[in-house]
Chains A and B, each alone.
Chain A
Amino acid sequence: MSDKVVKLGGKKKSRFMDKVMQLLPEGGNLNLCLTCGACSSGCPATGLDGMDPRKFLRMAALGMDAEILKSDWPWMCTQCQRCIYVCPMKIDIPQLVYNVRGTRPREERPKGILGSCDMALKNDSCSAMGASPEDFTFVVEDVLEEYQEAQPEFKDMQAPIDKQGATFFLNQNSREPVTEPDEMVPLWKILHLVSADWTYGSKGWGGENYCMFLADNDSWEHIVRTTAKQADDLGCKIYLNTE
């Protein structure tokens, strides 16, 4: 229970929730809450920062905009969507959370997420670890050569970059090429054994998208468009996302 009594009434004011509802199909059903609590009872973020999904939605519905906009809880909700799955009214609480994230001035959002997004905007790799297209190409070719020599059964294995007309465009989480390159190999082996016609892209190869987590829509779109364009330019038919 809160100590202070929340006073309602007076003129109907514009709520933050109304703005979010305008963005979502069916208004995200945000007005349909039955207050049953199914969302909160199965949410791992319940209790963090004194918050839970039902409370967050109720506060938004009550127009407690200042309180929800200053809360850190939206950064502790992973937007996993289990709350929607169990909700009898299919209320899109994660989209409410996402849009609350986006109201905070960009430079005041969590530094780690911000930094990873900015790294991805540094060059065409769109890698959250900032690795350049040249770095990526070097590591992939170096590791491939090593394995072709060390493991004879895989001497014909390929790890193409920018192969025109490949069926599959594969992206790659930056963690492997940057910190544990050997971990790229098992997937290459599987693709080799099934004779998949695949390629990485020198541009847009980074599989992670922290700009999405940052709720920076323009940067998120830039990253998605960069990698999609590369797949299109190469004439690939299927985009494989390893994330």
Chain B
Amino acid sequence: MRKSYGDPIAEDLRFVVKTLVGEENFIDMTPNRSNNYCCGGGGGFLQSGYKQQRLEFGRLKDNQIQATKADYCIAGCHNCHAQIHELSDHYGGGYGVIHLWTLICFALGILGENEREYLNDDLKEVAVYGA
């Protein structure tokens, strides 16, 4: 968000996420908004072949996420999703990484059983649409 749209859009997204999960369940990273760190999935890094360096790049992001003790991290795009998902595995954080659309549909109660690839076991069976 920082790079392309700036802080006002970051605030809009916080409104969306807090509305979905409740104010008390939203935890910001430090630093955040325009001061946040890139996860390391962008710029072609995922396809560049420099895996070890990419994971080292992402260590900062993983530390940030783990410090929040949050169960899930929301990723804004596919590159971020793939990278942060790998960081969670690689560094053992175990936090889930989900797209915003997954969270929106989950909160609306319309997320079916085949649309839950990235939910962890804690939410896998919760409020399954059509079940």
Contact = CB atoms under 8 A, between A and B. Distances in A.
Q: Do A and B bind each other?
A: yes
Interface of A: 42, 44-45, 47-49, 72, 75-82, 85-86, 110-113, 115-116, 147, 150-151, 153-154, 173, 175, 180, 182-183, 185-187, 189-190, 193, 207-208, 210, 213-214, 242-243
Contact of A113 (B40, B48, B108): B48
B12 interface: no
The 9 closest A-B pairs by CB, nearest first: A213-B44, A80-B38, A112-B47, A78-B43, A186-B101, A186-B105, A110-B48, A78-B42, A113-B44
B39 to A, nearest CB: 8
B49 A112 contact: yes
A243 B58 CA distance: 19
A217 to B, nearest CB: 15
A166 B79 CA distance: 28
B51 to A, nearest CB: 10
Nearest to B56: A48
B105 A189 contact: yes
Contacts, number: 119
B43 A80 contact: yes
B115 A183 contact: yes
B43 A213 contact: yes
Interface string B47-60: 11110011011111
Contacts of A49: 53
Interface residues of B, number: 44
Contact of B115 (A112, A153, A182, A213): A182
A208 B78 contact: yes
Contacts of B8: none
Interface of B: 2-3, 34-38, 40-50, 53-54, 56-61, 77-79, 82, 99, 101-102, 104-105, 108, 110-112, 114-115, 117, 129-130
Contact of A76 (B48, B77, B108, B115): B48
Contacts of A79: 42-43
Provide the main secondary structure of the chain A interface: helix
B38 A76 contact: no
5 contacts: A42-B35, A44-B60, A78-B43, A189-B105, A210-B44
A85 B4 CA distance: 12
Given A112-B48, A175-B78, A150 B130 contact: yes
Nearest to A81: B3
Contact of B105 (A112, A113, A173, A190): A190
Nearest to A86: B35
Given A78-B42, A116-B47, A182-B117, A187 B101 contact: yes
Given A151-B112, A173-B78, A183 B50 contact: no
